Amino acid sequence: MRGILRSSTESHHKDRLSLKEISQALDISEAGVKSRIYIELVNGFALQL
């Protein structure tokens, strides 16, 4: 069991993203969420008209 944990933590450290990559991914997802909310708002107003 301990060997499995050790190998998984080693691969985790190897695959760790840099802060820059994480912040870029967050910016992209945040923009996607904002555009999705905007589209839903526009569709909601169009349905009310």
pLDDT at 14: 60
pLDDT at 29: 85
pTM (global) more than 0.75: no
Indicate whether 11 belongs to any domain. Answer: no
Structural domain span for residue 39: 17-49
Q: Which residues of the chain have pLDDT under 50?
A: 1
Rg (CA), the chain: 20
pLDDT at 8: 55
pLDDT at 2: 56
Tokens representing 1?
Answer: 């069991």
Tokens representing 18?
Answer: 């840099």
Count of domains forming the chain: 1
How far is 31 from 23, CA to CA, in rounded Å? 12
User: Which letter does DSSP use for residue 18 in this model?
Assistant: P
pLDDT at 43: 87
Indicate whether 35 belongs to any domain. Answer: yes
Tokens representing 48?
Answer: 């009310």
Indicate whether 2 belongs to any domain. Answer: no
